[in-house]
Amino acid sequence: MDTYDITFVGHMCYDEIIPYNSPARIAPGSAVLCGAVVAAKTGKKVAAVVKMAKQDESILEPMKQAGVETFLIPSEHTTYSRVIHPVEDVDVRKLVIVRNAGYFFIDEIPELNTGFVHLAGISDQEFTLDFIYGLKRKGYKLSADMQSFVRQVDPETGEIEFKDVLQKMEIIKELSMVKLDIVEAKVLTNTDDIEKAAGAIEAWGCPEIVITHSGGVLARVNGNTYYEKFSNSSVVGRTGRGDTTFAAYLSWRMDHDPREALKFAAALVSIKMESPGPFAGTVNDVLVRINEKHR
């Protein structure tokens, strides 16, 4: 059996991005795609377990080309999401799930020898608390993106509303690491002060918290707080910011201290935000950016 450093679990999807005052574009996306490609580019051995329609398997190609081992759980539909930017502020977004691949179940997950399992969902239609308990019973070390729970899909309209999560404390205490953005942090903790939010989430039982916002990224690790500003010159590649940041942080954190991992993540995602799609650079590009902008 192959051994992986990180396994990403979540839906693949088609993203229809509708920018403010710009033409719409449709491209394969998802937290899994953005994250797995980044982790592989850092030199980690990466797997991705995805739920999607088999006829859309070609959209896994960018991950395969990056060296990610993919495992497809077949579903009737591939998730299709619409991301609407109604104003110039790229953090203001309306999200709609047009089609949905459905929940993951523990008996669908292949037996994997993996250091970390990261739950990289795009809405609350992917993971349940029972699924998380099932992964823990298998002995996996878990991280999760809290958008997988905070983004709640209206069953009638498909529109995503950001809502508090009834089982948030039960979920978070099962995690070794958790990722949020400022919107999700405020929904869960009732504060948009990211340092206070990180402290509140730490008190629920997770030792390592990563929170992104438009200006940069904060990490709270075993009671210590670190922060790094982004250095991007444009936001044309804003979609996938948090997924990319966390994947870079998690990958680099395996061999580096929190401060170095945070610098690496901020530099990498800053490069990514300057062009649409997943991160297309190299580790050397990131090290150059750190030297130029993140010293």
Q: Which of 25-29, 205-209, 226-230, 264-268 has the lowest mean pLDDT?
A: 25-29
Query: Which pLDDT score, from 0 to 100, does residue 237 have?
Result: 81
Query: Which pLDDT score, from 0 to 100, does residue 24 have?
Result: 87
Average pLDDT score over residue span 81-101: 88
Query: Which pLDDT score, from 0 to 100, does residue 88 have?
Result: 85
Q: How confident is the model at residue 121 (pLDDT cuts 50, 70, 90)?
A: very high
Distances (CA, A) of 140 to 63, 112, 135, 210: 22, 9, 6, 20
Beginning with the edge strand found earlier in the chain, give each strand of the sheet holding 25-29 in spatial order.
Answer: 25-29, 13-18, 79-84, 94-99
C-alpha R_g of the chain: 17
Tell me the pLDDT tens digit for each residue of 214-270.
999 999 999 999 999 999 999 888 878 999 999 999 999 999 999 999 999 999 999
Instruction: Specify the amino acid at residue 16.
Output: E
Q: Which of 32-36, 47-51, 62-66, 85-89 has the lowest mean pLDDT?
A: 85-89
For domain 3-293, give the CATH superfamily: Ribokinase (3.40.1190.20)
What is the residue extent of each domain of the chain?
A: 3-293
Tell me the pLDDT tens digit for each residue of 241-250.
999 999 999 9
9 or 278, greater pLDDT: 9
Residue 1's CB is within 10 A of a number of other CB atoms, namely 8
